[in-house]
Structure 1
Amino acid sequence: MDKRPTIIDVATLAGVSKSTVSLVLQQSPLVKQETRDDVRRAMAQLGYVYNRAAANLRSSNAGLIGVVINDLRNPFFTEFATSLQMALSARGYATVLANTDEDPALQTQVIGAMLEHGVSALIVSPAYGDETAFDAIARANVPALQVLRQVVPTSRAPFAAPDYPTGSRLATEHLLAQGAQHIAFVGGLEGRAVTQLRMSGYLATLAAHGMTPLHLPGRPGRAFGREAARRLAEQHPSVDAVLCFNDLTALGLLTGCTEQGRAIGQSLKIVGFDDIEDCAQVYPALSSVRCDIAGFGQRMAETVLEWLENDHRPPPETVTPVTLIPRASSLS
């Protein structure tokens, strides 16, 4: 006996997502008429029969969006997730949120569970190390966005992030304008795409000025930043300015320099990256590259709902603007 056609078969033939087919079956007004006609033709061609009784049992999951974040301990990602959830809620969608703590095996587990529970779409800030989770997403034919960092080709899942290269260029140009002679980049694990992106503007700017870069790699965070202050003082005393991979690293660097009695803004200028709330509250106030992560979260909500409701797949890559916010830590 031939296998009965599934909703995924209908979606594939109609050239739409599984979630769009579900909306058509639920007679949702969110789907445009042309798309509804395409889905119904595919159903007729395949002989697909909608089991409304079974669908009613699943109805509690309708409008559920999965959000998977690699590190919710970092305020940058927390602010993104909060903004995203609020924007989705305003449009009537519920959110299920998971933190993977940079563990690819956990990422595969939580995404698999979300798919089993019928999420309509996924927004993933992914952990590095394994693409298994995206294989499962592809098999389920569920719309999925990669945000803030990329681990699979954009042909498999569109990618969106702030303009990291421009951010590091603006920060480096600012430090040079403040008279810096030896600028280091502190934090970020070697070989990771997000580290390369956040360093690229720094490297290009120094190259244009005939200056030699210095990277102190490490898992970005306060502990590493504090340790980096000691290493800079002992091993690289000529460094007079630092661009950090993120604000947590920069905040740790501020602490370490304070312990050494080093004058921030004079002996050493520091710029962070992301502009989390703490940057304006610490002393001295921390200069940072502002990514408008709250606005980014709202935009990603709009993007995934446009894909889900109107079948408008986003472009392969979306880059959002950044600005530099100078404060006392980098001003003479």
Structure 2
Amino acid sequence: MKKRPTILDVAQEAGVSKSTVSLVLQNSPLVKPATRNAVGAAIKKLGYVYNRSAAGLRGAASGLIGLIINDLRNPFFTEFAASAQMEFARKGYSTVVANTDEDPAIQAQVIASMIEHDVSAFVISPAYGGDEDAFARIERAGIPTMQVLRQLDGRTDIFPFASHNYTAGGDLATRHLFDLGCRNIAFVGGLEDRPITEERMSGYRSFMKANGLPARAFHGRPSRAFGRDLALEIAREHSEIEAAICFSDLVALGMISGFAEAGVAVGKDIRLIGFDDIEESSLVYPRLSSIRCDTKHFGQRSAQSMLAWIVDGTRPPDVRHYDVRLIERQSSIGFDG
């Protein structure tokens, strides 16, 4: 008996995603006429029969987006998730948000569950570790998927990747401290050998090398607790360090607390720069200099890119990095600037 054509067969014949076919079958006004005509021609050619009653039970019929985040406790990722979710909502899409808490096993479980509920697309800021089975399942299901902020699967021709230009951010931060007269500059935070840590360190490391200065790193979990503990250690044992570039604002905020406890004046005795520019960076005292990644707009743009993919078939580029900029505040320039 000849195999009955599926929605995936229609998508392949029309050269669009499975989600786009679902939208056409639901008579969504979001689909362009040319795309609708291509899907209609594929349906006619293959003899596909739409089971409307079954489709009504699936998330794709209502435009359900799976938004999977590695650490929603971190304000940086929370802002991204909220911004993306609001943009999807403005376009009439519902979002299922999951926090994997940096656990690849939970990530695999969440992905499997969302596939079973037939989400239209995935936007994933992945947890590191584990194997590639979770992304292999997504590939087999034919669900459009973007990796954001972190890259786990190297096949960006299948899973496009979007993030910030962290290398430029590290260079901006190091150059700023160098121009202020600092030469003994450390990089603080981030787990060693993680790709995101290497990205954020790369601009710092290159600038230090180009100027004949030794690079020095203190690795650890990107948390306030680590930052506080490290600040106390630096105050006790490494008073020669003049400045630090922190893996994240959370680390820098912890360092501000630790240095205050140790009687070290941030912005005078030592200079600090964070990464991400979360809201608290402009509210803490002394106010924290930081590499602004404009996470709110990044979330909006990521959602827009995904919508263009599943609605119009306009696939995002394999890799895209958005610009960052340095916001100078008291923690680096002191209290006279």
State TM-score, norm by structure 2: 0.95
CA contact (8 A) 2:60 2:118 kept: no
The residue that corresponds to 1:62 in the other structure is 62
Q: Distance in 2 between matches of 1:227 and 1:10?
A: 57
The residue that corresponds to 1:238 in the other structure is 240
CA contact (8 A) 1:61 1:117 kept: no
The residue that corresponds to 2:85 in the other structure is 85
The residue that corresponds to 2:184 in the other structure is 182
CA contact (8 A) 1:13 1:42 kept: yes
Q: 2:272 aligns with which of 264, 270, 273?
A: 270
Does residue 151 of the first structure (1) align with residue 178 of the second (2)?
A: no
Deviation at 1:59, TM superposition (A): 6.6
The residue that corresponds to 2:7 in the other structure is 7
1:183–1:321 Cα change, 3 Å: same
Name structure 2 gaps, 5 residues minimum.
Answer: none
Q: Distance in 2 between matches of 1:288 and 1:27?
A: 47
SS at match of 2:58: helix
**Sequence identity percentage:** 56
Task: Find runs of 4+ consecutive structure 1 residues off by over 3 angstroms.
Answer: 57-61
CA contact (8 A) 2:70 2:125 kept: yes
1:59–1:114 Cα change, 3 Å: closer
Q: Distance in 1 between matches of 2:46 and 2:237?
A: 69
Encode CA deviations 1:101-155: one digit per residue, 9 max, x unaligned.
0001100111111111121111100001132221111111111110001011212
* Letter paired with 2:296: A
Q: Distance in 2 between matches of 1:134 and 1:59?
A: 19
Encode CA deviations 1:304-324: one digit per residue, 9 max, x unaligned.
111111000000011111111
The residue that corresponds to 1:109 in the other structure is 109
Encode CA deviations 1:280-314: one digit per residue, 9 max, x unaligned.
11111111001000011111111111111100000
Q: Distance in 2 between matches of 1:132 and 1:253?
A: 38
The residue that corresponds to 2:166 in the other structure is 164
Q: Distance in 2 between matches of 1:228 and 1:122?
A: 37
1:14–1:61 Cα change, 3 Å: closer
Q: Distance in 1 between matches of 2:306 and 2:10?
A: 21
* Letter paired with 2:145: A
* Letter paired with 1:111: I
SS at match of 1:123: strand
How do residues 307-326 of structure 1 correspond to structure 2 at under 5 angstroms? 307-326=309-328
Deviation at 1:49, TM superposition (A): 1.2
Does residue 279 of the first structure (1) align with residue 281 of the second (2)?
A: yes
* Letter paired with 1:210: G
CA contact (8 A) 2:150 2:196 kept: yes
The residue that corresponds to 1:304 in the other structure is 306
* Letter paired with 2:148: V
Q: Distance in 1 between matches of 2:135 and 2:189?
A: 28
Q: Distance in 2 between matches of 1:108 and 1:94?
A: 21
Deviation at 1:214, TM superposition (A): 0.2
The residue that corresponds to 1:123 in the other structure is 123
State TM-score, norm by structure 1: 0.96
How do residues 239-254 of structure 1 correspond to structure 2 at under 5 angstroms? 239-254=241-256
1:60–1:2 Cα change, 3 Å: closer
CA contact (8 A) 1:184 1:243 kept: yes
1:323–1:222 Cα change, 3 Å: same
1:59–1:187 Cα change, 3 Å: closer
Deviation at 1:162, TM superposition (A): 1.2
The residue that corresponds to 1:41 in the other structure is 41
Q: Distance in 2 between matches of 1:246 and 1:228?
A: 14
Deviation at 1:61, TM superposition (A): 5.2
Q: Distance in 2 between matches of 1:184 and 1:46?
A: 62
CA contact (8 A) 1:62 1:119 kept: no
Q: Distance in 2 between matches of 1:94 and 1:53?
A: 20
Q: Distance in 1 between matches of 2:169 and 2:270?
A: 20
Deviation at 1:13, TM superposition (A): 2.6
Name structure 1 gaps, 5 residues minimum.
Answer: none
Q: Distance in 2 between matches of 1:14 and 1:92?
A: 24
Deviation at 1:53, TM superposition (A): 2.3
Q: Distance in 1 between matches of 2:158 and 2:311?
A: 20
Q: Distance in 2 between matches of 1:308 and 1:17?
A: 6
- CA-based RMSD of the aligned residues comes to 1.4
How many residues matched?
332
* Letter paired with 1:58: R
